[in-house]
Amino acid sequence: MALETLKGRKDIGSCDGTNQRFTIEEADGKLGTIFDHDWIVIDHKTNAIAFKIQNGPIKETGINGCQVDNLIETARLILVGLNDKMPTRENSLAITALEEAELWLERRRQNRVRAQVEGTSNPIPRKI
């Protein structure tokens, strides 16, 4: 579901101030075997990371991948590690922004728990 937002894209722009674009290659199922047991795979030899994203609500499909929250957390942890070695104001601001994103997603989860729709495809009922 979440990765469907990237369907049809051929590249993603960078935020480094250049016109560099990152090409997206469709794997056509070739990555599936690495996700038999792990949903986040780090390959230190090739300096690569791959995520299997949750497909469907957990209560309806079970846990079958990681959440967007895990990607944000991973990005934050990478930046924290880099900032520990070479601190910059920009890194610190980016870390703060990622922490804020994590907090908003947690607030969303808590609201869904209160409304008893967490883990389902049901929206939070509107108050009348």
Residue 46 has pLDDT above 80, yes or no: no
Backbone angles phi, psi at 40, to 5 degrees: -125, 120
- Please give the pLDDT value at position 128: 54
Rounded distance between C-alpha atoms, residue 51 and residue 9, angstroms: 18
pLDDT digits (tens, 9 = 90+) for 71-93: 899 999 999 999 999 999 999 99
Token look-up 């038999």 returns 36
pLDDT digits (tens, 9 = 90+) for 90-101: 999 999 999 999
Q: Is the dihedral of CA 80, 16, 70, 126 positive or negative?
A: positive
Residue 94 CB burial class (10 angstroms; 0-12, 13-18, ≥19): middle
- Please give the pLDDT value at position 88: 96
Q: Which amino acid is residue 85, in one-letter code?
A: K
Residue 64 has pLDDT above 90, yes or no: no
The mean per-residue pLDDT over the stretch 12-34 comes to: 55
Residue 54 CB burial class (10 angstroms; 0-12, 13-18, ≥19): buried
Longest CA–CA separation in the chain, Å? 56
- Please give the pLDDT value at position 126: 81
The mean per-residue pLDDT over the stretch 25-29 comes to: 56
Is residue 45 very low, low, confident or very high in pLDDT (cuts 50, 70, 90)?
confident
